[in-house]
Amino acid sequence: MPSNILVFLTDDHAQWAAGCYGNSEVQTPNLDHLARTGVVFDNAYTPSPVCSPARASFFTGRLPSQHGVHDYLAEADPEVRSVEWLKGERLVSEVLQERGYVTGLSGKWHLGHGERPARGFDFWYSRSAPVSEAEGYHTPWQRTEPVEKRYDRHAITDRAIEFLRNRDEDRPFFLFVGHLATHSPWAGAPERLVERYRRATFRDIPEDVTHPFGRPRSESLYPSRDDPREALAQYYAAVTDIDDQVGRVLDELDSLDLRDDTLVIYTSDHGLNTGHHGLWGKGNATLPYNVVDESIRVPLIVNHPGSVLGGQRRKENVSHVDTFRTLLDTADAGLPDDRSTPYPGRSYRDALLGAPLPGSGELVFAEYGNLRMVRSDRHKLVRRFPDGPHEMFDLDRDPRETVNVIDAPGLRDRRDALDDAMDTYFAAHQEPGRAGIHVLDQPRHNGDEAWRDDRPPVLVESSQWLDDLEARIQDRRRQRRRSEGDAR
């Protein structure tokens, strides 16, 4: 029988926010154990730095310019609900179900009509927004169900465990667990954990000068920025609480004697900035929108006792579209053969066994609406179509992405090579009518799409916001010094 598959895909869990990725203060013992005994990918990226398009790429193995989801979906908006998102796409759940898997989802979906099961799922328990303890948790399509006075991650875990206990034992399972407590507004985490992190120094958060974006948007305008230490304490607490929930599910696998037969993957839809580059949020936190590394890097930990070579840290560039291919390989399932454009990913199944991954060091691509990015180990090129502004960074010399070298004479050949690679890649994969560079001609995803903002995007703007940001950075430095003094 093929291996069982358990995927944790958490919302807004940045790669930097885990002990196994070098954070010295946030406590993630279960993830750290998975990392020590499994495989860690240090250069894992999302195909898009916003929830819905990233999730669509995970479930379909295709780019936003193929599946047509380019921004987060405002699922309560009647206009957005009228669109059949992912129409014609083949979900990994469908492919695995056809291979004989019993399939379940517990947690965040955020790809339209979460009130009913998506294609290919036998078990379904979903919502698309975080809730506080006081608000409780409910499934929006079961209005008669009593409100559960628990944190959402606890209810999500309870339902995941319910699936494991009640599944058909004669079939392999695919279980997708989508935690979302790490999403804004970064409030309402368990007080016992928040209080622990209120004493933290947050020394792993760079005290960045601002990135030269003209305007903050979305979460960068939230009240969180006015009390960043409290927001960070809440975020760290949410990460640790989710780690606890991961441990509960792993313990259940052990109690059911399923651990050795189950491939476990932990990842996130995209990254997050919590003061990095002077930003709060992800790709839509700025105008122009961004693909700074903190927005696009994700944790990726793969564990399967006896079936992967544990203790590896892989340096290859990988993406959610590669994970899709790997899941199909795990199930001995072939790619759907009815696509008009090729699947962009490659399976990293052999890498889990210690083998070289073909194309080590090759390029990784991402997009967000009419923004496209190509990144090598050293350089990142960002194009915003049709008129810019455009960026290029030398990541060896400038890892914080502060100096735009798009017009540097000495890098012209490298820029042109990356341009050619970007053009070739997207020309080979984009579907007619779904390409991100023509996103203005496609259905509206929400009422806040950055590319519909009629203010011209600029990369450098002298504004009161920048002055305020610098004052907040200085205040945080003073708070950190006081905190470190108290610790001594």
Q: Does 5 have pLDDT greater than 50?
A: yes
* Enclosing H/E stretch for 4: strand 4-10
pLDDT, greater one: 131 or 450: 450
Residue 222: burial class (beta carbons within 10 Å; 0-12, 13-18, 19+): middle
Q: Does 462 have pLDDT greater than 60?
A: no
| Spatial distance between the Cα atoms of 400 and 294, rounded to a whole number of angstroms | 10
Q: How much is the pLDDT for 461?
A: 39
If you average pLDDT over residues 339-359, what whole number do you get?
Answer: 91
Q: Does 227 have pLDDT greater than 80?
A: yes
Q: How much is the pLDDT for 464?
A: 41
Residue type, 369: G
Q: Which of 374, 376, 377 is nearest to 390 (CA)?
A: 374
The tokens describing 484, both together, are 């470190």
Q: How much is the pLDDT for 266?
A: 99
If you average pLDDT over residues 441-445, what whole number do you get?
Answer: 95
Q: How much is the pLDDT for 144?
A: 36
If you average pLDDT over residues 464-472, what whole number do you get?
Answer: 48
| Spatial distance between the Cα atoms of 182 and 239, rounded to a whole number of angstroms | 6
pLDDT, greater one: 22 or 113: 22
In this structure, are residues 404 and 388 in contact, taking their beta carbons and an 8 Å threshold? no
If you average pLDDT over residues 208-219, what whole number do you get?
Answer: 58
Q: Does 127 have pLDDT greater than 90?
A: no
Q: Does 132 have pLDDT greater than 50?
A: no
Nearest 10 degrees: CA dihedral of 376, 379, 383, 387? -160
Give the residue extent of every domain in the chain. Answer: 4-357+449-487
If you average pLDDT over residues 344-350, what whole number do you get?
Answer: 95
Q: How much is the pLDDT for 465?
A: 40
Q: How much is the pLDDT for 133?
A: 38
- E strand spans, 74-232: 102-107, 123-126, 173-178, 215-216
If you average pLDDT over residues 412-436, what whole number do you get?
Answer: 97
pTM: 0.90
| Spatial distance between the Cα atoms of 161 and 285, rounded to a whole number of angstroms | 35
Give the confidence band of 79 by pLDDT, cuts at 50, 70, 90. Answer: very high
Can you name the residues that pair with 382 across neighbouring β-strands? 373, 391
Q: What number of other Cβ atoms are within 10 A of residue 73's Cβ?
A: 28
In tens, the pLDDT along 251-273 reads 999 999 999 999 999 999 999 99
Q: How much is the pLDDT for 120?
A: 96
Contacts of 107 (CB under 8 A, 6+ apart): 125, 126, 127, 156, 160, 176, 177, 178, 179, 180
Q: How much is the pLDDT for 150?
A: 52
Q: How much is the pLDDT for 141?
A: 33
**Percent of the chain with pLDDT strictly greater than 90:** 70
4-357+449-487: CATH topology: Alkaline Phosphatase, subunit A (3.40.720)
Q: 3-class SS at 38?
A: coil
Q: How much is the pLDDT for 114?
A: 80
The winner for highest mean pLDDT among 75-89, 110-124, 312-326, 468-482 is 312-326
In tens, the pLDDT along 28-41 reads 999 999 999 999 99
* Enclosing H/E stretch for 5: strand 4-10
Give the confidence band of 138 by pLDDT, cuts at 50, 70, 90. Answer: very low
In tens, the pLDDT along 162-175 reads 999 999 999 999 99
Q: How far is CA 381 from CA 290, 300, 335, 354, 467, in A?
A: 12, 24, 30, 31, 28
Q: Does 136 have pLDDT greater than 50?
A: no
Pairing outcome for strands 364-368 and 280-281: unpaired
pLDDT, greater one: 333 or 465: 333
Longest alpha-carbon distance in the chain: 66
Give the confidence band of 135 by pLDDT, cuts at 50, 70, 90. Answer: very low
Q: How much is the pLDDT for 407?
A: 96
3-state SS, 342-380, equals CCCCCCCHHHHCCCCCCCCCCCEEEEECCEEEEECCCEE
If you average pLDDT over residues 64-82, what whole number do you get?
Answer: 93
- E strand spans, 214-281: 215-216, 262-268, 273-274, 280-281
Q: Which of 227, 147, 219, 220 is nearest to 184 (CA)?
A: 219
Q: Does 66 have pLDDT greater than 90?
A: yes
Q: Which of 354, 225, 382, 378 is nearest to 295 (CA)?
A: 382
If you average pLDDT over residues 86-94, what whole number do you get?
Answer: 96
Q: How far is CA 244 from CA 30, 153, 300, 301, 411, in A?
A: 7, 10, 18, 16, 47
N-terminal to C-terminal alpha carbon distance within the chain: 56
Q: How much is the pLDDT for 487?
A: 56
Residue type, 196: R
Q: How much is the pLDDT for 375?
A: 97
If you average pLDDT over residues 233-247, what whole number do you get?
Answer: 97
Q: How far is CA 289 from CA 140, 292, 387, 415, 476, in A?
A: 31, 10, 14, 21, 25
What mean pLDDT value characterizes the chain? 88
* From 97-111, 128-142, 229-243, the region with the lowest mean pLDDT: 128-142
pLDDT, greater one: 68 or 449: 68
| Spatial distance between the Cα atoms of 417 and 422, rounded to a whole number of angstroms | 9
If you average pLDDT over residues 305-329, what whole number do you get?
Answer: 96
Q: How much is the pLDDT for 458?
A: 56
If you average pLDDT over residues 479-488, what whole number do you get?
Answer: 64
Q: How much is the pLDDT for 41?
A: 98
Give the confidence band of 337 by pLDDT, cuts at 50, 70, 90. Answer: confident
